[in-house]
Amino acid sequence: MAELTEQVKHLVARARELCADDETQQGLAAVERRLDEPLRVAIAGKVKAGKSTLLNALVGEQLAKTDAGECTKIVTWYQHGHTYRVTLHMTDGTSRPARFSRESGPIEIDLGGAAAEQVARIVVEWPTKRLVDVTLIDTPGVASINSSVSDRALAFLTPDDDRPVEADAVLYLMRHMHADDLSFLESFHDDELADASPINAIGLLSRADEVAVGRPDAMRVAERIAARYRTDERLRKLCQTVLPVGGLLAETAATLTQDEFEALQQLADHDRKQLDGLMLSADRFVADTGPATNRASTADGGPAVDRQACTVPPLVRRHLLDRFGLFGVRVALPLIRQGRVATAGDLAKALDSRSGIVALREDLLERFANRRDVLRARSALVSVDRLLAGFSSGAAVEIGSEIERIRAGAHAFAEIRLLNDCRRGLVTLGGVEDGELERLLGTAGTSPAARLGLRSDAEPCDLRAALLAEIEKWRRKGAHPLASKDVTDAASVLVRTCEGALADLH
Ligand SMILES: Nc1nc2c(ncn2[C@@H]2O[C@H](COP(=O)(O)OP(=O)(O)OP(=O)(O)O)[C@@H](O)[C@H]2O)c(=O)[nH]1
Ligand SMILES: [Mg+2]
């Protein structure tokens, strides 16, 4: 893989030698720098899909504001820095430092009198280890009522002029799959290689805890829905996988305070029946409990609750609901009552494990971080291609054919193409399970064990034997006299994949 990066770096350097004009030079210099920068992952989706909350959950801190505000309309980059710094990059090409403050909640950024429309992007530098390998980019909600906001998100993710694509990979949040989501995902494809490429996109069924109106089995129901989406032909062409995630639960788990835990403990001490009544709906949970409503019959027909006896004030309950969601409260209270969690730390762990964030982090590592070089090389080639699109000089033609040579020759790209072709139904390998083929191509992870579908602690001798068997199998398939060209080509990619994995073992 390092070889691929080297090839691309060499190509960019050559392009810089050949291209004289300043603007292209600057663009190429940026492409060059980017090859050494952390992977850029954009978080996209419709308004209020939970993008900023998920960003916070991934960083493990409340950085991004999650309610309405001017800043949610601006593309905001969160990247690793040695000091805390916020910079505004204006649409006129200038940039300036911004004043910001942070007390207990998210960062408050002062635009210094500028209108959101004048700010092209905000860059937040923050010294946290979670941002060392990845830069996270929070984008404004698409398909919003305010179409200029939505346009900005689309322009960032799918520029249609000759600007390079800025993100290497995208997490696309959808609450329930919708025609708008599909057309958005379809537009996140920028060149022949990326055309309908699932390689750099993961779909997320977000706010998963709200599925099934926050019932205790909400996450399991969400997992079933996500599993259905994973087999949806249209989605399979567009993203690698679909996972359920409860960003709010994960954000709260990462930032849980002792006060919040104590408030939950206090609630958990209440009479069981009373609690059940309180947790019937969000409205009941936060209802004011003055003496007049004591034992009053309820508007939603549920059993009357002796709400006056609830010693946790409504304001605190409102806060708990905002932080945990109804599902989170419903999960936390029994855990505390049954003594299964005794401290705020225990509760944080329990919520974290239910939120789906652990699986998402692992997936990000397997699917994006381990393929970082390929994804970055891919973005760099797209960018150089775009930067030189308007040129017809000999130099541009030379670079153009070099790009084609790298794309055709790099095995990592051959794997991507094969995966795309399979998902689009262009290649079918008789008698081979799709899942097996995808696994070999690294969709479940790029380690030898992940490619073979074996446990991560499998013995090297077992891995070796399994790889040799795969190589033998694919050689035979490819050499079969009745094999079509598709099958022969696919088989040679897979043989090379397995040989590469074998070399990795050594
Ligand atoms: N129950 C629940 N609520 C969530 C979750 N994620 C976000 N929310 C809530 O949904 C609202 C919107 O969340 P944000 O993270 O701001 O969503 P966004 O997609 O960034 O919104 P915009 O940037 O305005 O488009 C907030 O009130 C969050 O608390 C979740 O996983 N579960
Ligand atoms: Mg947001």
pLDDT of residue 11: 93
Query: Could you give the CA distance from residue 505 to residue 456 in angstroms, rounded to a whole number?
Result: 13
Mean per-residue pLDDT for 424-435? 71
pLDDT digits (tens, 9 = 90+) for 382-393: 888 888 877 777
Atom of ligand 1 nearest to the CA of 53: 15
pLDDT of residue 154: 58
> SS3 for 407?
helix
Q: Which of 43, 46, 47, 48 to mutate to test the pocket of ligand 1 (most atoms within 8 A of CB)?
A: 48
- The packing angle between helices 372-387 and 411-423, to 10°, is 90
pLDDT at 219 over 50: yes
Query: Could you give the CA distance from residue 185 to residue 367 in angstroms, rounded to a whole number?
Result: 18
Closest Cα to atom 11 of ligand 1: 48
Neighbours of ion ligand 2 (CB under 5 A): 51-52, 72
Residue 18 binned pLDDT confidence (cut-offs 50, 70, 90): confident
Per mean pLDDT, which of 27-36, 149-158, 189-198 is the most reliable? 27-36
pLDDT digits (tens, 9 = 90+) for 261-275: 999 999 999 988 888
pLDDT of residue 340: 96
Q: Which helix (H) or strand (E) holds 336?
A: helix 314-337
pLDDT of residue 152: 63
Q: Which of 43, 47, 52, 53 to mutate to test the pocket of ligand 1 (most atoms within 8 A of CB)?
A: 53
Ligand of minimum distance to the alpha carbon of 153: 1
pLDDT digits (tens, 9 = 90+) for 129-170: 999 989 999 988 875 445 565 566 656 655 555 555 688 888
Mean per-residue pLDDT for 441-447? 82
Contact (CB, 8 A) for 59 and 131 = yes
Ligand of minimum distance to the alpha carbon of 48: 1
pLDDT digits (tens, 9 = 90+) for 313-357: 999 999 999 999 999 999 999 999 999 999 999 999 999 999 999
Closest Cα to atom 12 of ligand 1: 48
Mean per-residue pLDDT for 94-116? 91
Ligand 1 neighbours, Cβ below 6 Å, are: 47-53, 66, 72, 140-141, 207, 209-210, 246-248, 325
CA 343 / ligand 1 centre spacing (Å): 27
Atom of ligand 1 nearest to the CA of 65: 16
323: which 2 tokens? 């932080």
CA 246 / ligand 1 centre spacing (Å): 10
pLDDT at 295 over 50: no
CA 266 / ligand 2 centre spacing (Å): 32
Residue 88 binned pLDDT confidence (cut-offs 50, 70, 90): very high
Atom of ligand 1 nearest to the CA of 208: 31
CA 478 / ligand 1 centre spacing (Å): 50
Ligand of minimum distance to the alpha carbon of 49: 1
Can you give the length of the chain in residues?
A: 506
Residue 307 binned pLDDT confidence (cut-offs 50, 70, 90): very low
Q: Which helix (H) or strand (E) holds 13?
A: helix 2-18
CA 37 / ligand 2 centre spacing (Å): 24
Atom of ligand 1 nearest to the CA of 250: 31
Atom of ligand 1 nearest to the CA of 67: 16
Give me the domains of the chain, ranges plus CATH numbers: 35-246+358-370 (3.40.50.300), 256-354 (no CATH), 384-505 (no CATH)
pLDDT at 299 over 60: no
DSSP 203: E
Q: Which residues of 111-124 are buried (b: 16+ CB within 10 A; e: fewer)?
A: beebebeebbbbbb
Whole-structure pTM over 0.75, yes or no?
yes
pLDDT of residue 291: 46
CA 53 / ligand 1 centre spacing (Å): 6
Residue 239 binned pLDDT confidence (cut-offs 50, 70, 90): confident
Atom of ligand 1 nearest to the CA of 327: 1
pLDDT of residue 24: 85
pLDDT of residue 145: 44
Mean pLDDT of the chain: 84
